[in-house]
Homo-oligomer: A and B are copies of this chain.
Amino acid sequence: MPLITGQNFIGGQRSAAGSIIVKSVDASTGETLPYAFHQATLQEVEDAAHAANNAFSSYRCLSASKRAEFLDAIAQELEALDDEFIALVCRETALPVARIQGERARTSGQMRLFANVLRRGDFYGARIDQALPLRKPLPRPDLRQYRTAIGPVAVFGASNFPLAFSTAGGDTASALAAGCPVVFKAHSGHMVTAEQVANAIIRAAERSGMPAGVFNMIYGSGVGEALVKHPLIKGVGFTGSLKGGRALCDMAAARPEPIPVFAEMSSINPVVILPQALSRRADSIAHDLVASVVQGCGQFCTNPGLVVGIRSDAFSAFQNRVAALISDQPAQTMLNAGTLRSYAAGLQNLHAHPGIVHLAGSNQQGHQAQPQLFKADVELLLNGDKVLQEEVFGPTSIFIEVTDQAQLNAAINALHGQLTATLIGEPEDLTQFAELTALLEMKVGRILINGYPTGVEVCDSMVHGGPYPATSDSRGTSVGTLSIDRFLRPVCFQNYPDALLPDALKNANPLNISRLVDGYPSRDSL
């Protein structure tokens, strides 16, 4: 058994000042695990914010290559975690071993990708406008801009990705890459996992010479509010429910100094099945769609929660086929009892709604989630009924039939913001329904054709974001290298001597990065 102290991580030290003990449970059996976690006291929250802020001035000014070494070291430490670690993650989350192994690789790969971004240097957004001393009527001074870290960032771990969206996940990776120390609020669903990952980060910080306080972690419920309201915290990353995310946004906006919150919250990820695709490959679409709906017990932000098609015999047959496949899917264990309760409550709402019909799925009872399929009247969508705009987190989806192309467009227009939308279509479909791309672009962060939205690649081009309520700020993404932008702000240096400029802006271009010089991209020295 690994050494789990249950103490908070503050400024490179461990701290257990509080008397409230929280426990982690075996997600499959409900058994309480033999570890005691000390909920952070308000003083410890304060200490963690100060520790992050103390680290900030030196960490921000480290060269990007030094920060890259730190991220690479975290990746190595994550990869060095043993099978016992994997087994404990599985125990806390009921997720299978292969998934956790894959998620660990994704998490360390993400750290390495950000290390590459740091070495590449485009995150600086370096811009130089050289002096024009002879310009009339007024000379232009030398002006240079780069981007630097906003300050200490609070990160809230997600329940459904104990590694990739948690302690060393995307928000932490992008904040650390940007030069922002992190105070991480461990998710109560996987604190044993969190402690081991935090230890890995601390080992990496120590061996790469990072300032104490570059990464801090606190346990407990109710401590998040004090963290978000702390004046030294300058930004927030969150993945979770609409209710939780919105509460953080409201707190942050009401601070004496408001701060940005990047909350990834609620998405039903519509999938539009177009007629020619249906006529040619209904069966394979049905299989792939159902696989996406039940994958990981439907516990993905990008789970396809709405399937839209034009009324026809083919669409009815397709719906029946999907219903039959859903009926065949086994029940699965969810991440924790709270998630199961909230799945059951969501299903209850759907069952109780007069405009919604249940198509498939065993009665939801017991300790596992039963896959379900429903059908809703399109009028619910067109009239803005809340039931169709709220994500039911779990292995379920809702069919909607529209009468024709015009109503399909109207239905798309009636959607709230989404992380993703998917078109399943043949080339003729995509021609006939060509306007869908422009309509969907206004609603989502990512549009897919002939794929399924689960599975979010970590790369430069990914957008895991989208208009509210998918996220709190459509200008951000929480997956992919662009996510670093959330934690950077521009600074301009006017008439600055070369020696005092940051390396990214020095005449000699010592970092050999691409810069916008007098309006043209260039790697040249000046």
Please tell me if A148 contacts chain B, counting CB pairs below 8 Å.
Answer: yes
Find residues 37-73 in chain A having any chain B CB closer than 8 Å to their own CB. 57, 61
A444 within 8 A of B: yes
A405-441 contacts to B (CB < 8 Å):
417, 427, 430, 434, 437-438, 441
Are the CB atoms of B249 and A474 closer together than 8 Å? no
B-side contacts of A145, CB under 8 Å: 460-463, 480, 482
Known: A460-B145, A462-B492. A150 touches B474 (CB 8 A): yes
Shortest Cβ distance from residue A29 to the other chain B in the assembled complex, whole angstroms: 30
Residues in B neighbouring A445, C-beta threshold 8 A: 489-492
With contacts A461-B145, A497-B430 taken as known, whether A446 is within 8 angstroms of B253 at the C-beta atoms is no
How many copies of the polypeptide does the oligomer hold? Answer: 2
Please report the total number of A residues contacting B with Cβ < 8 Å.
78
Q: How far is the CA of A473 from the CA of B489 in the complex (A)?
A: 9
**Most chain B CB inside 10 Å of its own CB: which residue of A437, A448, A461, A521:** A461
Say whether B61 contacts A468, CB under 8 Å.
no
A144 touches B475 (CB 8 A): no
A451 contacts chain B at the CB level, 8 A cutoff: yes
B144–A494 touching, CB < 8 Å: no
Determine which of B128, B151, B473, B491 lies in contact with A463 in the assembled complex, contact meaning CB atoms within 8 Å. B491
Q: Which residue of B lies closest to A471 (CB)?
A: B489
Q: With A and B bound together, what is the CA distance between A486 and B449 in angstroms?
A: 29
Q: Whose C-beta in chain B lies nearest to the C-beta of A253?
A: B253
Q: Which of A489, A494, A497 has the most CB of B within 10 A?
A: A494
Q: When A490-B477, A500-B434, A514-B521 are in contact, do A461 and B141 touch as well, CB less than 8 Å? A: no
Q: Which residues in B have their C-beta under 8 angstroms from that of A455?
A: 138
Residues of B within 8 A of A221 (CB): none
**Distance (whole angstroms) from the CB of A217 to the closest CB of chain B:** 24
Given A257-B468, A257-B469, A434-B500, decide whether A494 and B120 contact each other with a Cβ distance below 8 A: no
Cross-chain contact A460 with B492 (CB below 8 angstroms): no
Q: Does A385 contact B (CB under 8 A)?
A: no
Tell me, yes or no, whether A2 is within 8 Å of chain B by CB: no
Contact (Cβ within 8 A) B150 A258: no
Q: In the assembled complex, which residues on chain B have CB atoms less than 8 Å from the CB atom of A449?
A: 494-497, 500
A127 contacts chain B at the CB level, 8 A cutoff: yes
Q: Are A490 and B519 neighbours in the complex by a CB distance under 8 Å?
A: no
Mark contacts of A64-95 with chain B using CB atoms, 8 A cut-off: 1 yes-contact digit, 0 otherwise: 00000000000000000000000000000000
Name the residue in A125, A438, A459 with the highest tally of chain B Cβ atoms < 10 Å from its Cβ: A459
**What 6 A-B pairs are tightest by C-beta distance, nearest first?**
A253-B253, A463-B492, A143-B461, A145-B461, A446-B492, A448-B494
Q: Could you give 28 example pairs across A and B, Cβ below 8 Å?
A: A116-B519, A125-B482, A138-B455, A140-B459, A141-B448, A141-B451, A143-B457, A145-B461, A150-B474, A253-B254, A253-B258, A257-B417, A430-B497, A445-B489, A445-B490, A445-B491, A446-B491, A446-B492, A446-B493, A447-B492, A447-B493, A451-B495, A461-B492, A462-B492, A463-B491, A474-B489, A475-B488, A477-B490
